[in-house]
Amino acid sequence: MSDGTPKKVLVIDDATLVRLYYRGALEAAGFRVTEALNGLEALEQLLGASFDLLIVDVNMPQMDGLTFLRALRDGDLPMAAIPAMVTSTESAPQRVADAVAAGANYYAIKPLGADVLVQYASLLCGARHG
């Protein structure tokens, strides 16, 4: 990392093995990882901690990723403007547009490989700048 402090990522996905895979890849690259299983849990996490990046899946129980993002962007949490990468099984342009409209900075198609994940995460955390 450019300034030495580990970047903190909140991984929001209800699939256990996806979160495990991302955690392994991101921690090996020096990120610190917190997990949430759905959008509601993510909102709760964001009340109490700060992060440098969100990785948000779309399809989750209780609250999907886009509803979560909209709530985050429209609300007045300090983290409202945090960079967010939406991950999805869907590649259709309309789905991408929906995610961007909801507040995504980046959109990645699942399944994500470890290298690509780390690359995008570094980019979005601004680790290449400064």
* Residues near another protein (CB under 8 A): 15-18, 20-21, 24, 36-38, 40-41, 43-44, 47-48, 58-67, 89-90, 94-95, 98, 110-114
**In angstroms, what is the minimal distance from the CB of 85 to another protein?**
16
Which CB, 37 or 125, lies closer to another protein?
37
Tokens of residue 55, six digits: 């990785």
What is d(CA 101, CA 82) in angstroms, rounded to the nearest whole number? Answer: 15
Q: At what angle do helices 93-102 and 65-74 cross, to 10 degrees?
A: 30
**In angstroms, what is the minimal distance from the CB of 44 to another protein?**
5
Which CB, 49 or 81, lies closer to another protein?
49
**In angstroms, what is the minimal distance from the CB of 101 to another protein?**
12
What is d(CA 3, CA 44) in angstroms, rounded to the nearest whole number? Answer: 28
Adjacent-strand bridge partners of 57: 87
